[in-house]
Chain A
Amino acid sequence: MGPSVDFLGRDVVSARDFKRDQYDTILRAVEDLEKSRESLDGTLNGKLAALLFFEPSTRTYSSFQIAAEKLGMRVSGFAGPTGSSITKGETLHDTVRMFEGYGADVFIIRHSKMGAARFAAEVSDVPVVSAGDGSREHPTQAMVDLYAIKKAFGRIDGLKVGMLGDLRYGRTSSSLAYALSNFDVEITFIAPEALQMRPEVAHFLTQRGVTPRTAAGLKEVAGSLDVLYVTRIQKERIPDPTEYEKVKGMYEVNLEALRDAKPSLKVLHPLPRVDELSTDIDETNYAQYFVQAAGGLPLRMVLLNLILGGAR
């Protein structure tokens, strides 16, 4: 895989910014890498990745760090606000400028504020990859999710995808919805009214000619889905605690809730899970979430290699 002008030097701040053929290129490259696992090792020798995680993260941080290191990059930065100058009040702007001065070739940024990645991309002369900004987006997770779907079914087109849980504040759901709008899929949003997709996501999908269905609970749609994407409903997002207790059970995914599901259904979850996804599914054919998580590393290697123009 040689350098691609489609990707070279570009920022990855929104899943909206990529088109179908670009998603196809990424997914194909991940397949290739999984077949030949060492094929990208060392392609970005000597380059510097700045991982600026203003919010704590374990999985995303580690997968980017290992991806960068396998590509031969040096890694610098921080995995959370503790112990960094962020606790002293250093701004995102100044942190980016500083690491740029240290010779960063790419920024990988997680931040609690919506739009932080796009702002960083304006400040920086080198590419910025968002590792999640507030409840807005998490574009590389959407790519990981697409790959997990593709891996399970051999295709994405023609599938019925249910997205369940906190769609309003869940950044992975927004990005996945944007990404899926490039494919011929039927999307159903399964969430209580207060946690349905944000207006801007719904607006974008409408512009793209995608009309998602909505459902208030899993039961009414479980039997029709090929893919169920589960995210957690956080208690603090629902203003009325009694309301939370009422809806909680409707969004817990366990074997009982999947009684009517197709045998071929695949359940995805960006992890970590709390109690929305029962461990009784782990050993069934429904569980695709560990395969999904494993895709994070090759996906991020491919993406960094594409935007930084690594050889091979």
Chain B
Amino acid sequence: MLVSSIEEGTVIDHIPDWQANTVSRVLRLDKLAKMQADVSVVILQNVASKRLGRKDIIKIDRWHVDESDADILGLVFPGITVNYIDEGKVSKYMPRVPDAIEGRLRCPELNCISNTEREPVTTRFATLKKERMLQCQYCDALFDFDKVPDHVRT
């Protein structure tokens, strides 16, 4: 299956097979539609891969995924690679585990102050790297990196 290369944008590679939709959710790609941006997205699923056997790939033409978003993706899929394309040149970005994630996730604890309507709270989660968990800096609730897609703010 042939998909033409892109000159500007982002290619997210080594996504575990059939997980592209989760990546799309974490990156909130649906927001692009609302922005009416001149952006094209190609999602390839279950593609043959030397490293993984099968994998998914997402190509986003004319849009750069934020490094902080790439880092959040890396929590869920540690083997993922993010390639930024500028004027046809590829630079690889290996997501890193940040010390904290601010504003992008919702706390799983419904009774947390950060889930209170009208209180101007910016959510903040510390990463517990060894345990592969996040901890809310307000209510202390813990959740696994794997659960991040369930708690992405829409």
8 A Cβ contacts from B105-125 to A: 109, 111-114, 116, 118-121
Contact A111 B113 (CB under 8 A): yes
Report Cα–Cα, A111/B114, bound state, in Å: 13
Contact A119 B111 (CB under 8 A): no
8 A Cβ contacts from A97-120 to B: 111-116, 118-119
Report Cα–Cα, A113/B109, bound state, in Å: 10
Is A84 on the interface with B (CB-CB < 8 A)?
no
Interface centre among B111, B113, B121, B131 (most CB of A within 10 A): B113
Number of A-B contacts (CB under 8 A): 56
Contact A134 B111 (CB under 8 A): yes
Among B26-34, B84-92, B134-142, the one that faces the other chain is: B134-142
Contact A113 B140 (CB under 8 A): no
- Residues of A contacting B141 in the complex (Cβ-Cβ under 8 angstroms): 114, 200
Contact B138 A115 (CB under 8 A): yes
Report Cα–Cα, A133/B140, bound state, in Å: 12
Given contacts A91-B118, A92-B119, A93-B119, contact A114 B142 (CB under 8 A): no
Residue B139 contacts which of A91, A92, A114 (CB distance < 8 angstroms)?
A114
Residue B119 contacts which of A119, A135, A136 (CB distance < 8 angstroms)?
A119
- Residues of B contacting A199 in the complex (Cβ-Cβ under 8 angstroms): 142
Q: Give, as a whole number of angstroms, the nearest-CB distance from A117 to chain B.
A: 9
Per the CB 8 Å criterion, the residue count for chain B at the interface is 19
Contact B131 A112 (CB under 8 A): no
- Residues of A contacting B111 in the complex (Cβ-Cβ under 8 angstroms): 112-114, 134-135
Given contacts A89-B118, A91-B118, A119-B119, contact A114 B137 (CB under 8 A): no
Residue A200 contacts which of B114, B116, B119, B135 (CB distance < 8 angstroms)?
B135
Contact A115 B112 (CB under 8 A): yes
Q: Give, as a whole number of angstroms, the nearest-CB distance from B121 to chain A.
A: 6
Report Cα–Cα, A118/B141, bound state, in Å: 14
Is A19 on the interface with B (CB-CB < 8 A)?
no
Contact B119 A114 (CB under 8 A): no
8 A Cβ contacts from B55-112 to A: 109, 111-112
Contact A200 B142 (CB under 8 A): yes
Given contacts A114-B139, A115-B139, contact A92 B131 (CB under 8 A): no
Given contacts A115-B113, A115-B114, A116-B113, contact A203 B142 (CB under 8 A): yes
Which of chain B's residues has its CB closest to A169's CB? B111
- Residues of A contacting B112 in the complex (Cβ-Cβ under 8 angstroms): 113-115
Report Cα–Cα, A190/B12, bound state, in Å: 49
Contact B138 A118 (CB under 8 A): yes
Report Cα–Cα, A136/B113, bound state, in Å: 11
Interface centre among A93, A119, A133 (most CB of B within 10 A): A119
Contact B138 A119 (CB under 8 A): yes
Report Cα–Cα, A310/B131, bound state, in Å: 43
Which of chain B's residues has its CB closest to A13's CB? B138
- Residues of B contacting A112 in the complex (Cβ-Cβ under 8 angstroms): 111
Q: Give, as a whole number of angstroms, the nearest-CB distance from B143 to chain A.
A: 9
What are the interface flags for A125-151 relative to B under an 8 Å C-beta threshold, 1 for contact and 0 otherwise? Answer: 000000001111000000000000000
Contact B142 A119 (CB under 8 A): no
Which of chain A's residues has its CB closest to B133's CB? A203
Report Cα–Cα, A91/B121, bound state, in Å: 11
Interface centre among A91, A93, A113, A116 (most CB of B within 10 A): A113
Top-4 shortest CB links A-B: A115-B138, A114-B139, A115-B139, A113-B113
> What are 13 sample pairs from A and B whose C-beta atoms fall under 8 A apart?
A111-B113, A113-B112, A114-B109, A114-B112, A114-B113, A114-B138, A114-B139, A115-B112, A116-B113, A116-B138, A119-B114, A119-B138, A203-B142
Q: A residues engaging B (CB < 8 A)?
A: 89, 91-93, 111-116, 118-119, 133-136, 199-200, 203
Q: B residues engaging A (CB < 8 A)?
A: 109, 111-114, 116, 118-121, 131, 135-142
14 other contacts beyond A114-B139, A199-B142, with CB at 8 A cut-off? A91-B119, A91-B120, A112-B111, A113-B111, A113-B116, A114-B112, A114-B141, A115-B136, A119-B114, A133-B113, A134-B111, A134-B139, A200-B142, A203-B142
